[in-house]
Amino acid sequence: MNLKQRLAEPRLLLVPGVYDALSALVAEQAGFEALYLSGASIAYTRLGRSDVGLVSFSEVQDTLGQITERVRCPVIVDADTGFGNALNVQRTVRGLERAGAAMIQLEDQTFPKRCGHLDGKTLVPLSEMKGKLRAALDVRDRALILARTDAVAVEGLEAALDRAEAYLECGVDALFIEALRTPGQMDTACARFAERVPLLANMVEGGKTPVQGAQELERRGFRIAIFPGGTARAVAHTLQAYFASLRAHGSTVPWRANMLDFDGLNALIGTPELLEQGRRYDADSSRSDGSGR
């Protein structure tokens, strides 16, 4: 079942954030049906920096390609502002499709953008964003297009809903109204759009939107729920404790119950299967008559 077919179902799609091939593999093994690659998580893990527009198109494309080479789960990828004007958006869409994107998210912030749950955001004019969305739709082959508006923080809820309406009229496949402040605002957005298009809820621990579980979000009318940065935050928290323990004890022995050992990690990433595959090729080589035929 592809992502478009899955989103046609009434049940909510719960999507964890990933940031590299290993985190994607573990999420897929946990049974998730789709994955979300955010620019923020790439900034956190690849650059050790904040989500303030520092990540480039090539870094997103490269990270996405490494993920889709390793897992079969469809990946929703955050393309930020498209990295420029409408022509840049078209290059971005083509490149991310080649890297395996199932859905591409585009937002209406100015560049450089910043995390949707940080203050101080600014928006491009409505007409410019509509042009960028039409440009994306004109060149996309199979990827779905997700339109995000950050207008709640800048222009207010009603303006954000009007922007989302205009983006829907362009023909996008899903909507993302970022940083809704209250359950009431979430219900207002769902009342306007939930019956017409898949609506995404963004759950950010400590962010502007109240974090809710999948059942509650489905009841409200959301079709997609992402937890985009939770993985990076959980890993960072674990690393703080791991490094503190190693520094204090000079050994990983006190931490062994909280980590995979050598064989455990190799089992997770499929090392035995990979070595067996290599042995099959070695066996074929040993049977060769040396003629090259």
Q: What is the DSSP string of 161-225?
A: HHHHHHHHHHT-SEEEETT--SHHHHHHHHHHHTTTS-EEEE--TTSSSPP--HHHHHHHT-SEE
Backbone angles phi, psi at 214, to 5 degrees: -60, -40
| Token duo for residue 13 | 């799609």
Q: What is the pLDDT of residues 23-68, one digit of tens each?
A: 999 999 999 999 999 999 999 999 999 988 899 999 999 999 999 9
Give the confidence band of 119 by pLDDT, cuts at 50, 70, 90: confident
Please report which confidence band the pLDDT of residue 293 belongs to, taking 50, 70 and 90 as the band edges.
very low
User: What's the pLDDT score for residue 285?
Assistant: 58
* pTM, full prediction: 0.94
> At 87, phi and psi to the nearest 5?
-70, -40
Q: If we measure between CA atoms, which residue out of 184, 230, 232 comes closest to residue 209?
A: 184
Q: Which long-range contacts (C-beta less than 8 Å, at least 24 apart) are formed by 59-63?
A: 60/96, 61/95, 61/96, 61/98, 61/99, 62/99, 63/19, 63/20, 63/37
